[in-house]
Chain A
Amino acid sequence: MSATAANSGFLLCDVCEQLNRACPGECACARCGAELHARKENSFSRSWAFLIAAAVLYFPANYLPILHTGSVWGHQSDTILSGVLHLWNTGSEPLAIIVFVASIIVPGAKIISLTFLLWMAQHRSLWSPQQRAKLYRATHSIGRWSMVDIYVGGTLVALVHLGPFANIEPGPAAIPFGAVVVLTMLASMSFDPRLTWDPVDARRHG
């Protein structure tokens, strides 16, 4: 038998993690005054909305050019992937791997793993909640590193404005790419990991 806050008449404060006794109707945390909820509000619909938007934008983010380089010797447009290949071919293999993982693998893996977690929780799966808890923690903590390509672009654009010799301009992929990072972070913040455990507790209790 697993006694949880929800099935024992308690509510844990989202803000300060104080355990409160549940009360009828809306109640506030006795310590910090925050509104108490048994689970994050509308967790499924909010997470799905952010996640679907992120999945749609993942394609233009990778397909469109993210940087234009112009100089007297010609123009060049780079997508995220061609930028990675350029780093690789010029002898910066470790950096090429970092950018490839942060910009392409991490956002894709995050979309897939959140889809899996949401789907399993919504279908009240009992399959290995421990493994899913670990997956959620990993997904939640690595997402921010995808921002690295946005900062590479910002720094390059700020430095390289050398008139006719060389100019670097941001490409149209920057907007969907930035949106993917923000949306996957919001999706992960909206997901309540306790939803993974609720079916397990309901079964043991019932």
Chain B
Amino acid sequence: MPRTTNNLTACPECDLLQRVPPIEDGGMALCSRCAAELFRERDRSLDVTLAFIIGAAIAFLLANYYPIIQLDAKGIRTSAHLFDTAWALQERGMSSIALLVFVTVIAAPAVYLFAMLYLLVPLRLGMRPRHLHNAFRVARLVQPWAMIEVFLLGSMVSMVKLTQVAKVHPDTGIYCIGAYVLLAAAAASAFEPHELWERAEDAGLGLPASQESRA
């Protein structure tokens, strides 16, 4: 079995060795000691994930293209794009916080989406992406730093704060952010990494370079 050694696995959170029984589709195996999630069984996990990732990528591009909020204060109109929320902080001399906002709402989601597309599109076409291992590590590394769902809450709080002094209109961009949040969450819950390795190994191409030379 590619996923374990004789169905034997260890819990990533408490290290208990255990045998994983066959799981029915849609089910999951929890650690028998600490109840951490061990495996999920999802039919066509990679295809479903890819579909959601493509949708999320389109929503993300549109979220960056359209303004997110418009403000109308007695005839003076301003509007802000996603990028402006980082750039405005940079202009006020808060480079470190500007960088934090840029990384968490633009760079990390972009890198995550790119890495997932790089992994899933070739596998869908029966090819193995050349840098499969690195792309998987990059996706895992940046995922916790992509915090657009938190940004969505923050922008809603700021809109409520502004309604007392001006007319506030949510613009196209913020709906695209909402769509991205839903699609990215759906992709994350559909994604089962073990299927990625199985599919890469099915093609007979799963071994990393260091192991190939040793084998």
Contacts and interface: CB of A to CB of B under 8 A. Distances in A.
Interface of A: 2-6, 8, 10, 12, 14-19, 21, 28, 30-34, 87, 90, 92, 95, 98-99, 102, 129-130, 133, 136-137, 144-145, 147-163, 165-166, 169-170, 174-175, 178, 182, 185, 189, 193-194, 196-198, 201
Give the interface centre of B8, B150, B164 by most chain A CB atoms within 10 Å: B150
Contacts, number: 204
B92 A165 contact: no
Interface string B155-177: 10111111011000000000000
A10 to B, nearest CB: 6
A194 B211 CA distance: 28
Given A154-B85, A162-B76, A10 B34 contact: no
B100 A150 contact: yes
A156 B162 contact: yes
Interface size band for B:
35 or more
Given A4-B10, A155-B69, A129 B34 contact: yes
A14 to B, nearest CB: 8
Interface string B83-123: 01111110010101100110011000000000000000000
A148 B153 contact: yes
Contact of A166 (B73, B86, B92): B73
A99 to B, nearest CB: 6
B157 A98 contact: yes
B86 A154 contact: yes
A9 B95 CA distance: 48
Nearest to A182: B100
B22 interface: no
Contacts of A144: 144, 147, 150
A4 B197 CA distance: 24
B100 A159 contact: no
12 contacts: A17-B9, A19-B5, A28-B210, A32-B197, A95-B160, A133-B13, A145-B153, A151-B158, A156-B158, A156-B161, A165-B73, A170-B94
